[in-house]
Structure 1
């Protein structure tokens, strides 16, 4: 019979406090997210305030990483700008969105000059509204449009779409299929498909040549996986056609749009604002933080002294704000100090890359930087995530400078980035009428003392977005 007894065991475990876990997440944030967090803190915490510039005004906020985000107006212009915006809003509500009313000075209202973004649903509903449909048929088609995803596909079963409508009597499968066909007939072609094959089949009517259209239909409906694998010879054998004809039809299929819904939606473009700037000054590489990404925040000593003077046991909330303000400022200082230290260590290791390009990139792992800076390896990983460095030869993510070592035939180490650069140079130097296959590139690398597998060459070529030898030969 098993005995029941109590035992005390001593065990050491390492755990992170909630505040330390939050600090780790802040370190991994991009500059845009971190700046937004600091702005939220300034709005909620009375002990934090914007840092003033030399003229006594609050310093400008850092530039946004996202195109189309409005900047705050100068203090002196805020009142006039708000009055103008109020007038535009009044004109908009009074005359409606389609009005062409002008402002008092004869100029077109700013609201009339704003571009209206057309979504996929709006585009499809506009087409349905001009069709002579019965209310029941229109409701079914509109329900299918509302069920499409961003790609323009219908991922929801038709039965579930019908259940949302709750029509009486319930729609039959025939009615649902008719409504789906009606949506699939709208522009752009391929909308409402339930698979990639169906999406492509809906667009085959664009092919004018009947023979090409019929062969394309056979490929899409029966040999889509072979098409995706770009196995032209295998397709030609299965279809009983010549490789040249199959390749021509495959090229026509690839010009179709597998995601027609992507033509609509947001047109904003995300831009990268570098965290550190690298310059060469008097023959030495210098690294400095980009002032645009450092939040302009400071501690409000006046409020802190008043609170300390009249502090009482009931002011627990203000005490929490005071502690949080000091912790936030410590995080701001520590974050950018760590980023700068890591960037400087990277530049010291990869200065030959800055001078001679990717061919001079050295193998580098996170542990080397961690040992030099005196932080944990995981901290280096978080610091280099979503952080960018502006150099005279381009803007690179900090993770770009890390790559594992590949040993050459003479025993020296070479980075994967350098090998990718060498592959790119080999392909750029090839004869246009005789492009080199991945196997030939592998042999040429071996002649230079770099033993690289053919599949690795293929992977690096694809990472460089260079086409295969067959496509390069055909284009030449």
Structure 2
């Protein structure tokens, strides 16, 4: 075999660290980007916040409104009733001292640094709108903010304090209360709870399970009715049992009592019969009239499947939009919009001038390696700021192109949405489809019609009689409109919806209608039919 040398010219794409970081920042959400900035500020000494005011935590503002649940103050196991009462009295006294101290002091936001949280100037040169919520907070009593919400555990613990129980029973009841989930269910078995406390097999385990069984009976008699149930079926049974007892005490009519007992028999059967609204099967199993079974199902539907629902402090995931769209009115017959990056999401960071100047002025020949390492960190800081700038520039360009393509949506709503795919925006801006996909994921746009993810404005098209295309988003909106105006006694089937779309000139098969309906979380016609 003859050996030889040859030259070959080839090209390949090498992802530099700067490009890798740019791609990674582009696909991050607003929250993830904020976390990334915080991490970079901790790691790189050449980065600093472009805001000289102190953080909220330094003044305790972030934790001033925190609600301390009563269940957190109560010990899990009460060794004696005297000790338990002392704990409650001490916790209440501490709470009163805290609230009185807060309410007695005049709130003074002047000079505390919190007003500086609205950006002065940022690295991007964007003027942030000043927040004027401090004036409202001054008019609100801090004690009122703390007492706005009561947890399910706190509500149950307060009722448990009124019961005259032995220390052991009180401890068991308190423990079960803390084991409830947000819906008010006790999902773990009593044996598992006992083993979780370290009870060994034998008499110790049996005794603890017996103690928990008694405590669960007490728990299920507390308000709200149905709390402490292990399943939905048991929860409904508890509520019906309570209603029957109230009906007997109040001397209700025999017809109403018969209805409640029929509800009990229906709830004792498999719940999928009710879910399918299998009236004929329920009539056979309960040996009751069809009209009475329908009335019973209506009554069961009014029961609360999640007793702890009203106590859950739902922290709404407030979506912070990345882009703001504001109408400017019509210019030359065409609607014009202002598209801008939300100033609230712009990271306010900059290169630390003092450290950068010190590095430039200090060149120690004896420590060339250390100087090179610090120079590298300075370059990383500059890259980071540049990549963040590029991220928001790309988001703004893509958002502007989307608004330009979907002007009819911003003027007339969902029914006017046009078909749009990633390739169209990518070709217009000279970017790759993967870049558009990263930009439109977990990025939100605030519009006069609401806040939407950028991906919402993209959708495939369905053929029309005129030879054009209708956006799948517009078709979904049309299906929702048809169902909203249907008769409750005669709901529209998927075939009927498909025919109605054809009358509108949109070719949409029954299976496609079913897929869109399920995507809108609308049940089938048989489940939408009024009983």
Q: TM-score, normalising length from structure 1? A: 0.76
For residue 104 of structure 1, report the CA deviation from its aligned partner.
7.2
For residue 224 of structure 1, report the CA deviation from its aligned partner.
0.6
Counterpart-to-counterpart distance in 1, 2:488 and 2:260? 32
**SS of residue in 2 equivalent to 1:278:** strand
For residue 162 of structure 1, report the CA deviation from its aligned partner.
0.9
Residue pairs, 1:19-418, within 5 angstroms: 24-42=23-41, 45-51=44-50, 72=56, 96-99=94-97, 100=100, 103=104, 112-116=143-147, 117-166=149-198, 169-172=204-207, 173-207=209-243, 208=247, 209-232=256-279, 235-236=282-283, 239-281=286-328, 282=331, 283=334, 284-311=336-363, 312=367, 313-314=369-370, 318-319=374-375, 321-409=377-465, 411-418=467-474
- Where does residue 8 of structure 2 map in the other structure? none
For residue 289 of structure 1, report the CA deviation from its aligned partner.
1.4
For the aligned residues, what is the CA RMSD? 4.0
Counterpart-to-counterpart distance in 1, 2:400 and 2:474? 21
**Residue-by-residue CA offset, 1:45-95 (whole Å, 9 max, x unaligned):** 43223336xxxx77xx9xxxxxxxxx959xxxx99x99xx9xxxxxx9997
**Residue-by-residue CA offset, 1:4-31 (whole Å, 9 max, x unaligned):** xxxxxxxx99997888666555333332
Contact 2:465 2:505 in 1 (8 A): yes
- Where does residue 88 of structure 1 map in the other structure? none
Contact 2:440 2:454 in 1 (8 A): yes
**SS of residue in 1 equivalent to 2:313:** coil
Counterpart-to-counterpart distance in 2, 1:410 and 1:253? 50
Contact 1:35 1:294 in 2 (8 A): no
Aligned residues: 436
Counterpart-to-counterpart distance in 2, 1:310 and 1:179? 73
Counterpart-to-counterpart distance in 2, 1:327 and 1:231? 65
Contact 1:406 1:416 in 2 (8 A): yes
For residue 401 of structure 1, report the CA deviation from its aligned partner.
0.9
Counterpart-to-counterpart distance in 2, 1:15 and 1:134? 73
**SS of residue in 2 equivalent to 1:96:** helix
Gaps of 5+ in 2: 1-10, 65-89, 108-137, 248-255
Counterpart-to-counterpart distance in 1, 2:16 and 2:277? 52
Counterpart-to-counterpart distance in 2, 1:369 and 1:295? 27
**SS of residue in 2 equivalent to 1:260:** coil
**SS of residue in 1 equivalent to 2:104:** coil
Q: Do the aligned partners of residues 382 and 215 (structure 1) sit closer, same or farther apart at CA in structure 2, a change above 3 Å counting?
A: farther
Contact 2:21 2:387 in 1 (8 A): no
**Residue-by-residue CA offset, 1:390-422 (whole Å, 9 max, x unaligned):** 223332221211222222355432221111222
Q: TM-score, normalising length from structure 2? A: 0.69
For residue 342 of structure 1, report the CA deviation from its aligned partner.
1.7
For residue 111 of structure 1, report the CA deviation from its aligned partner.
5.4
Q: Do the aligned partners of residues 279 and 109 (structure 1) sit closer, same or farther apart at CA in structure 2, a change above 3 Å counting?
A: closer
**SS of residue in 2 equivalent to 1:256:** coil
Contact 1:223 1:235 in 2 (8 A): no
Gaps of 5+ in 1: 1-11, 62-70, 86-91
**SS of residue in 1 equivalent to 2:234:** helix
Deviates more, 1:464-473 or 1:370-379: 464-473
Residue pairs, 1:456-471, within 5 angstroms: 456-461=512-517, 464=520
- Where does residue 130 of structure 2 map in the other structure? none
**SS of residue in 1 equivalent to 2:445:** strand
Contact 1:143 1:161 in 2 (8 A): no
For residue 260 of structure 1, report the CA deviation from its aligned partner.
2.2
Counterpart-to-counterpart distance in 1, 2:283 and 2:467? 46
- Where does residue 67 of structure 1 map in the other structure? none
**SS of residue in 2 equivalent to 1:298:** strand
For residue 329 of structure 1, report the CA deviation from its aligned partner.
0.6
Contact 2:259 2:292 in 1 (8 A): no
Q: Do the aligned partners of residues 202 and 316 (structure 1) sit closer, same or farther apart at CA in structure 2, a change above 3 Å counting?
A: farther
For residue 346 of structure 1, report the CA deviation from its aligned partner.
1.5
Contact 1:274 1:389 in 2 (8 A): yes
Q: Do the aligned partners of residues 292 and 251 (structure 1) sit closer, same or farther apart at CA in structure 2, a change above 3 Å counting?
A: same
